[in-house]
């Protein structure tokens, strides 16, 4: 009796365990395809939320330049959108999967087609013919890493045919050729990296030049507006002095004449050390212009007993001096606008 009760309890326990285990197994089956945001950390690895994804069927090549190109391609394919991955192995936190971008393009397939990676033949890549076809296409088109392999192979075969027929030292020649092509590849890589570095420096310099020209142009344009206002005020004063219908204002209690407009030099003085960013002629023109601008404000008193002719002559001279400042200011503003346009072109190139 007791034995039968024990068997009955054991049977019920197994049923309960099966009831709880079955849903978890089903959930595990549903996790074969995952969709989440991820970022490329190397040509064969994505880092997602709480997990690392190793791209199935491919392995990296030992080329820093191609690695950078692969990362750039992966970033453009993903574009910040979620990726969809079909798991084929691994663990919940480190999985091996085939992943596609938001537009459905297979990331591993895109890398293979451009020669940025090669097939990982330790895996069953024959089960996905598209991967093998992508590598064959890249090799046929000499794309990515295959460009170096194909060109090196051609060079070595020509060397072997030319020398192995007449010299037993063909192996030495082969080694020399291999070293030559490797050094040539390193030289090409260094040139590309240097060109990229120079391009980045040129863009930064162009941005600094644009900012400098823009701030100086703003200060000169403000000075030009001050001159225009100055000429308007003293032009009206001159008309009043020449009027025969009213007594000049200065005859009543005297008057004060501003010898020249109030002009700003603050931006130029703060930027003297950066003038080398500009064209040499433009920098010299700006230095000469700012040196000619009045340094401090000066005023002239016109007493009531000053003859009218003298007062008129004084105001006319003040106006002439102010008008003489306009042409060089206008030319400098135009030159700075041209420099700004050139720098914008350099930045956009």
Point out the residues of the chain with pLDDT beneath 70.
1-31, 150-168
> How much is the pLDDT for 31?
54
pTM higher than 0.85 for the full model?
A: no
Task: Count the neighbouring beta carbons within 10 Å of the beta carbon of residue 39.
Answer: 14
Rounded Cα gap, residues 183 and 171, in angstroms = 18
> How much is the pLDDT for 59?
94
> How much is the pLDDT for 345?
87
Which CATH architecture group holds 25-145? Beta Barrel (2.40)
> How much is the pLDDT for 323?
92
> How much is the pLDDT for 44?
94
> How much is the pLDDT for 156?
52
pLDDT in tens, 212-254: 999 999 999 999 999 999 999 989 888 888 887 777 888 888 8
| Residue 79 region by backbone torsions, left for phi larger than 0, else alpha for psi between -120 and 50, else beta | left
> How much is the pLDDT for 165?
57
Place of tokens 């459905």: 104
Q: Which residues does residue 95 pair with via DSSP β-bridges, in sequence order?
A: 53, 90
Q: CB of 322 within 8 A of CB of 231? A: yes
Closest CA to 123 of 73, 87, 84, 88: 88
Rounded Cα gap, residues 34 and 86, in angstroms = 7
In 11-127, the DSSP E strands lie at 33-36, 38-42, 45-48, 51-55, 58-60, 83-90, 94-100, 117-119
Rounded Cα gap, residues 301 and 314, in angstroms = 11
DSSP assignment string, 97-126: EEEE-TTS-BHHHHHHHTTSEEE-TTS-GG
Name residues whose C-beta falls within 8 Å of residue 292's C-beta, 6 or more positions apart in sequence: 325, 328
Which uninterrupted H or E stretch holds 308? helix 308-348
pLDDT in tens, 177-192: 888 888 888 888 888 8
Residue extents of the structural domains in the chain: 25-145, 202-348
Q: CB of 54 within 8 A of CB of 90? A: yes
Q: Judging by DSSP bridges, how do beta strands 51-55 and 45-48 pair with one another?
A: antiparallel
- Using a 10 angstrom Cβ sphere, with 0-12 exposed, 13-18 middle and 19 or more buried, the burial of residue 105 is exposed
Rounded Cα gap, residues 81 and 101, in angstroms = 8
> How much is the pLDDT for 168?
67
């Amino acid at each position: 009796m007791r034995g039968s009760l024990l068997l009955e309890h054991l049977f019920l326990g197994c049923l309960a365990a099966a009831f709880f285990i079955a849903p978890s197994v089903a959930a595990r089956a549903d996790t074969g395809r995952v969709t989440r945001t991820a970022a490329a950390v190397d040509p064969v690895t994505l880092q997602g939320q709480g997990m690392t994804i190793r791209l199935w069927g491919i392995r990296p090549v030992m080329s820093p330049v191609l690695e950078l190109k692969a990362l750039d391609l992966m970033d453009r394919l993903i574009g910040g959108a979620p990726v969809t991955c079909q798991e084929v192995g691994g663990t919940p936190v480190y999985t091996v999967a085939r992943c596609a971008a938001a537009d459905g393009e297979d990331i591993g397939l895109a890398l293979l087609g451009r020669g940025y990676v090669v097939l990982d033949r330790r895996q069953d890549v024959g089960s996905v013919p598209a991967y093998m076809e992508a590598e064959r296409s890249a090799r046929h088109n000499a794309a990515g890493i295959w460009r170096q392999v194909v060109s090196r192979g051609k060079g070595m075969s020509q060397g072997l045919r030319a020398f192995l027929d007449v010299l037993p030292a063909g192996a030495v020649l082969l080694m020399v050729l291999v070293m030559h092509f490797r050094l040539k590849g390193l030289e090409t890589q260094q040139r590309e990296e240097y060109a990229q570095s120079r391009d980045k420096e040129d863009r930064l310099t162009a941005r600094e030049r644009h900012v400098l020209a823009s701030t100086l142009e703003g200060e000169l344009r403000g000075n030009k507006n001050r001159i225009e206002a100055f000429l308007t005020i003293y032009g009206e004063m001159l008309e009043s002095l020449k009027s025969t219908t009213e007594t000049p204002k200065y005859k009543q209690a005297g008057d004060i004449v501003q010898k020249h407009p109030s002009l700003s030099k603050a931006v130029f003085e703060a930027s003297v050390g950066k003038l080398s960013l500009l064209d040499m002629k433009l920098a010299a023109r700006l230095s000469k212009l700012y040196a000619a601008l009045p340094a401090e404000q000066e005023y002239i008193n016109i007493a009531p007993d000053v003859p009218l002719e003298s007062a008129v002559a004084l105001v006319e001279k003040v106006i002439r001096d102010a008008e003489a400042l306009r042409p060089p200011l206008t030319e400098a503003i135009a030159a700075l606008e041209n420099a700004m346009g050139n720098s914008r072109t350099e930045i956009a190139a």
